[in-house]
A and B are shown apart, each in its own frame.
Chain A
Amino acid sequence: MAVETMTGDIEAPGKVAGLPGVVSDFSSDKQVFPVHWGKAMMWIFLLSDTFIFSCFLTSYMHVRMSTTVAWPNPSEVFALSLGGQPIPLILIAIMTFVLISSSGTMAMAVNYGYRRNRGRTTALMLITAGFGATFVGMQAFEWTKLILEEGIRPWGNPLGAAQFGSTFFMITGFHGLHVSAGVIYLVIVALRVWRGDYERSGSYEAVEIAGLYWHFVDLVWVFIFAFFYLW
């Protein structure tokens, strides 16, 4: 029988370490993952999302390898002039720090959620959403600059390989969409925390599940930053 604990989570039957534990988890006549169902489903959703983003990045690798035209240098394309001097990739670096900070505040929000500190959880989640919105805003600025000033289009650009635009807009656009959806998701969960919904249901798992999604968005950015902007 599953027993509800203080945290509202399902009490896990005896945890066995290592591979024997895996075997016993999969072979026993019970649910395999003794975690909140929402958490298991979020993980599986994130796994599928991993495949989507990997397909994008792999196709980007393919077009970049196969083009005979020089690839535009991202270091110069994304440079920003501050005080009359171009600094390479500075906007992207700031966006990276913003997103990592949001991940940090989110991790703390999850922790305060399990400590049943409603005020801090709500505040930290709203800060996280704020960082996310900032990120999307900076991305909008970046896109505007690229489209209007550099003349980069999905079908071509004056700097080099035509595939640069299509892969750039596709990958960062899909990621930006994830961030935007995440901001809405976080605000909704934060308001429910504030309203005391999880106090009544006795489970703060919802905060951790939202956190998983948010960390994943940050994780994807790590790969985009490495492969698209730095490579």
Chain B
Amino acid sequence: MSSTHENTQHPISVYLWIWLLLFVLSAFSYMVDYFQLHGLLRWSLIILFMFLKAGLIVSIFMHMKWERRALQLAILVPPLCLLVLIGLMAIEGDYTFLTRSVAFTP
């Protein structure tokens, strides 16, 4: 049968559970700030909760989990090339910081 049928026939409870999970994950990421965690622990927890939340929203709420593989790949793979941009900008940012530290620090 068509993917639409798998797509549309979910019990409401699925959404309520995901909603609850998103609430809990958001509370966790807020706690990271509330308890003033620092350094690597803070950053890795922020990233972890962020990706868990993003994954739940995309796969369940946006129904990506039930789409055909062709659509999944067409939408989810292209953003990976942003990693190149992020990498380049991180190097560039470091370089600018060093140059400024040497040349412009009062």
Which A residues fall within an 8 A CB radius of B? 5, 7, 9-12, 15, 17-19, 21-22, 25-26, 32-35, 40, 43-44, 46-47, 50-51, 54-55, 58-59, 61-68, 75, 88-89, 93, 96-97, 100-101, 103-104, 106-108, 111, 114, 208, 211-212, 215-216, 218-219, 222-223, 225-226, 229-231
Q: Which residues of chain A have C-beta atoms less than 8 A from B43's C-beta?
A: 231
Residues of B within 8 A of A64 (CB): 93
Contact A96 B70 (CB under 8 A): no
Given known A54-B85, A58-B85, contact A66–B96 (CB-CB < 8 A): yes
**Contact indicator A54/B8 (Cβ below 8 Å):** no
The answer to whether B82 and A54 touch across the interface, beta carbons within 8 angstroms, is yes
Rounded to whole Å, the gap between the CB of A133 and the closest CB of chain B is 20
B100 contact set on A, CB distance < 8 A: 66-68
The residues of B with any CB-CB pair to A shorter than 8 Å are 2-5, 8-10, 12, 15-16, 18-19, 22-23, 26, 29-30, 32-34, 36, 42-43, 46-47, 49-50, 53-54, 57-58, 60-63, 67-71, 73-75, 78-79, 82, 85-86, 89-90, 92-94, 96-97, 100-101, 104-105
Residues in B neighbouring A208, C-beta threshold 8 A: 63
B61→A103 contact, CB < 8 A: yes
| 26 chain-A/chain-B pairs, Cβ below 8 angstroms | A5-B2, A5-B5, A12-B4, A21-B69, A22-B73, A26-B70, A35-B67, A35-B71, A50-B79, A58-B82, A65-B94, A65-B96, A66-B92, A75-B33, A75-B36, A88-B33, A89-B34, A93-B30, A108-B16, A114-B8, A114-B9, A211-B61, A211-B62, A219-B58, A222-B53, A226-B46
In the complex, what distance in Å separates the CA atom of A9 from the CA atom of B74?
20
- Judging by beta carbons under 8 Å apart, are B3 and A12 in contact? yes
- Which one of B16, B70, B90 contacts A25 once the chains associate, using CB atoms below 8 Å? B70
Which residues of B sit under 8 angstroms from A9, Cβ to Cβ? 2, 4
B79 and A54 form a contact (CB under 8 A): yes
State whether A96 touches B26 (Cβ < 8 A). yes
Contact A230 B46, beta carbon cutoff 8 Å: yes
Report, nearest first, the 5 A-B pairs whose CB atoms are least far apart.
Answer: A65-B93, A104-B19, A66-B96, A114-B8, A25-B70
Report the bound CA distance from A215 to B55 in whole Å: 12
Known: A9-B4, A65-B90, A208-B63. Is A18-B33 also a contact (CB below 8 A)?
Answer: no
Cβ–Cβ < 8 Å partners of B22 in chain A: 100, 103-104
Which B residues are in CB contact (< 8 Å) with A54?
79, 82, 85
Tell me which residues across on chain A come within 8 A of B94, comparing CB atoms.
Answer: 65-66
Contact A226 B49 (CB under 8 A): yes
What's the least CB distance linking B57 to chain A, in Å? 5
Q: Looking at the complex, which one of A65, A67, A75, A226 makes contact with B50 (CB distance below 8 Å)?
A: A226
Per the bound structure, the CA–CA distance linking A21 and B32 in Å amounts to 42
